[in-house]
A and B are shown apart, each in its own frame.
Chain A
Amino acid sequence: METSIYSVLAFYVLAAIILGSAVMVVSMRNIVHSVLFLAICFIGMAGLFLLLDAAYLAVIQVLVYAGAVCIMIIFGVMLIQRTDMKHSNLFNRQTFLAGGVVALTLAVCGFFAGTTAWADLAANTPVPEDSLGQIGQLLLSKYVIPFEVAALLLLVALVGAIVLAKEVKANDND
């Protein structure tokens, strides 16, 4: 389906950006730098979504993840960290044990990803051009109940976050 050499090249460049910045997110010792690399990782992923013909999700990825989530985490860091930032993101004592678990996960998942005959499942039809219109139609017809539940979830999360962050102030008044 993707025969153009440019899309192949774009995939490898985006994969390198995503994986490189993800490794930097985990290995950086300063948490603000980690969040910076997280934003780069999310923007690379938006490019990957464009390659996958999901233009709406690419826009949402930049808007929600690179915009809202990263800024919110930076705000959280600024509200919480009061000691030095240079050593704000260290490893704990379980690094070797976790490395073993992760290597095992990677081996098993990679083995099955590599050996499954995905080509038999492929539909070999292109994604329709007007994907945004069709997603909108589906969200408000077939998937309207999950859509409303997601809206309710966001409302509950909003109220819950306010209540949780306010908690101590109420105790101060006593």
Chain B
Amino acid sequence: MITISLTHYVVLSTILFTIGLFGVLTKKNAISVLICIELMLNAVNINLIAFSKFITPNDFIGQIFAIFVITVAAAEVGVGLAILIAIYRNKLSVNIDEFDWLKW
């Protein structure tokens, strides 16, 4: 009998995390880097909830952590977009390669 074990979920979230990581490393547009960070955070959420179901089903630790991860992700998108809008007003570009004020 085929069953879905914890390994399936961990492998799925690993693949999703690496897709997000690839996007973060290769995208030119800063908004799309934010989008790919969301993908990575979601991969972590799948992991947390799968561990919560398979290992500590009565404590709900993983689910509560996932709620906090969702909160932080929403705050991150809001502040990230506000920063990008502020940068766009000064620089008229959202190309990450052109953000070089901190270069020495």
Contacts and interface: CB of A to CB of B under 8 A. Distances in A.
Contacts of A15: 8, 12
A41 B49 CA distance: 17
B102 interface: no
B64 A143 contact: yes
Given A2-B4, A19-B16, A109-B14, A154 B39 contact: no
A160 B11 contact: no
Contacts of B12: 15, 18-19
**Binding site secondary structure of chain B:** helix
A80 B94 contact: yes
Size category of the A interface is: 35 or more
B29 A73 contact: no
B22 A56 contact: no
Interface in B28-84: 28-29, 31-32, 34-36, 38-39, 42, 45-46, 49-50, 52-58, 60, 63-64, 66-68, 70-79, 81-84
Interface of B: 1-12, 14-23, 25-29, 31-32, 34-36, 38-39, 42, 45-46, 49-50, 52-58, 60, 63-64, 66-68, 70-79, 81-86, 88-90, 94, 96-97
